[in-house]
Structure formats: C-alpha cells, structure tokens
Amino acid sequence: MVDPDQGEPAVTSSRDVVLGRIRAAVGTAPDPGPVRRDYRQGSGALPGSPELLDLFEDRLVDYKASVRRCAADEVTGAVATILAGRFDRPARVVVPADLPGPWAGPAAVVDDGLTPAHLDALDGVVTACAVAIAETGTIVLDGGAGQGRRVITLVPDLHVCVVRADQIVGSVPECVRRLDPERPLTFISGPSATSDIELSRVEGVHGPRTLEVVLVVPR
C-alpha cells in the first residue's frame, strides 16, 4: 500500500506489516488438525425441568442473590413484595418500555432515554431476560423483549429480574447456541462482587449490589 504522505519509495501500512509478520512466522508449519470437541454440548436435562430450576436456584443463592418462585399471574405481586421488603416508602423503579406485563406497578418510570444521573437517583430496575444457565447461575440479557438498554440494568442499585422456567438451560454451550452475537449481551451471575482484596469474594461494588430473581414456574 502506498502512503500518500510519503510518496515513493513504496511504504507499507502497519496493517500490512503485522499481517506480513504473521504469514512469515507461521510459514509452512503443518496444520494442527481439527478441534476436538469431546466436551458436553448439553446437560441432558430439558430447559425448565425441575432439576434445572433447583440447580439454578442453588447457584444463585450461593452468589448471595435472592430467589422467589411464583406463577405467571403472580409476578406483579412478587415484585411488589420484594420492593416493599426493601423500602419503607413507594420504591421508584425504572422499566423498559416493552415489559411483558405491569410487573412493576403503575408508578414505574418507563425508560425513554433517561440520563445516567436520572437512573442513579432511582431505587431499582425490573426486567425480563433472554436465557439463563442453571449450572453456573447465570442470567443473560440481550436487549430483547422486556430488557431495555444495558444502562438501565447497570446504574440502579437493585435489579429485579424475572426469569421464565423455559428460559433456563443446563449448560454454557446450550446458552451460547441460543444467543444472537449481534445483540449487546450481558451475562450476570449474582450481584456485583470483587475478589481483589486478599482474593476473598465480597459482594457489591459498582454494578447493582442486590440481585433479586423472580422465577416464573408452571402451576
């Protein structure tokens, strides 16, 4: 590639230099052969099966997240109970515009591009999720239905996440294969935490310090 600033003789861009170095370095090395993928691709349990729900709940509790089970028509009541238990005044929570139900009550603030400062002044956020992983106690948000912009589940200090039983898969590979990588993805496993002081884990740093999971199970 000729650099217009340099003219002749021919000069190369850093891109060409790095790619050229790679090609020279690998040279005629033999192909390392196919990747062996003999690990478990699935967990053997159907999404939403009772053993996966129990495992998911166990993992979440291990991370100091709270779990509350209810039926589909009880979500609003469950969320209200959670908020009433944490605040002695009406909680101010934000919700994405496309929440599947009136889960956070009529007073919830609907996100229409709120500033970080505005979100910081609110008490919490209520969202749905995309997928969850039982073995690791992980919830994945992909910005899809009922999840909103990434910032609304980050700045408020309390995240109430509603997970449907059929969204819970067993293993990490099952989850990854359900996701669309073009979406902005956030994997959440418990409240924010750190191991930076003497390598002991403590919960609660910059992200939401409290994670409450509402697990929607069939009646």
Partner 1 sequence: MSTFLGMPDVGHAPRGVGHLRGEEPFPAAARKALANAQLRRNIGHATSTIRAKRAAVVGEVPDWEELRTAGRDIKNATMHRLDSYLEQLEANIQARGGVVHWARDAIEANEIVTRLVKATGSDEVVKVKSMATQEIGLNEALEAAGITPYETDLAELIVQLGHDLPSHILVPAIHRNRAEIREIFLREMPDADPGLTDEPQVLAMAARKHLREKFLTARVAISGANFAVAETGTLSVVESEGNGRMCLTLPQTLITVMGIEKVVPAWTDLEVFLQLLPRSSTGERMNPYTSMWTGVTPGDGPQEFHLVLLDNGRTATLADPDGREALNCIRCSACLNVCPVYERTGGHAYGSVYPGPIGAVLSPQLTGIEDNASLPYASSLCGACYDVCPVKIDIPTMLVHLRAEHVDARRAEGRPSPEALVMRAAAWTMSNPRRWALAQRLTRLGRLLGRRRDRISQLPPPLSSWTASRDLPRPPEETFSEWWTRTRGSQP
d(CA 215, CA 57): 9
User: What is the rounded CA–CA span in Å between residue 189 and residue 183?
Assistant: 19
Smaller CB separation from partner 1, 85 or 177: 177
Q: Is residue 188 involved in binding partner 1 (CB under 8 A)? A: yes
Residue 59 interacting with partner 1 (CB under 8 A): yes
Identified binder of partner 1 from the candidate list 49, 66, 81, 186, rule CB under 8 A:
186
By CB under 8 A, residue 80 contacts partner 1: no
Residues binding partner 1: number (CB under 8 A): 80
Burial class (CB in 10 A: 0-12, 13-18, 19+), 63: middle
Distances in Å between the Cα of 53 and the Cα atoms of 8, 131, 169, 212 are 68, 13, 9, 15
Query: Mask 90-129, x = binds partner 1 (CB under 8 A)?
Result: -----------------------x--xx--x---------
Among 63, 66, 86, 123, binds partner 1 (CB under 8 A): 63
Q: Quick one: which of 156, 208, 210, 212 contacts partner 1 (CB under 8 A)?
A: 208
What 8-state DSSP symbol labels residue 113? S
- Positions in 148-177 near partner 1 (CB under 8 A): 149-151, 154-155, 172-173, 175-177
Of these, 125, 185, 217, 218, which contacts partner 1 (CB under 8 A)?
A: 185
Q: How far is the CB of 76 from partner 1 (least distance, A)?
A: 27
Q: How many CA atoms lie within 13 A of 186 on its CB side?
A: 19
**Length of the chain counted residue by residue:** 219
One-letter identity of residue 147: Q
Q: Could you give the string, one character per residue 11-50, with x where binding to partner 1 holds by CB under 8 A and - elsewhere?
A: xxxxx-xxxxxxxxxx--x-xxxxxxxxxx----------
- As measured in angstroms, the least distance from the Cβ of 71 to partner 1 is 28
What's 37-100 look like in SS3? Answer: CCCCCCCCCCCCCHHHHHHHHHHHHHCCCEEEEECHHHHHHHHHHHHHHHCCCCCCEEECCCCC
Which of 5, 44, 88, 218 is the binder for partner 1 (CB under 8 A)? 5
Per rule CB under 8 A, is residue 207 in the interface with partner 1? Answer: yes
φ/ψ (deg, to 5) at 216: -90, 115
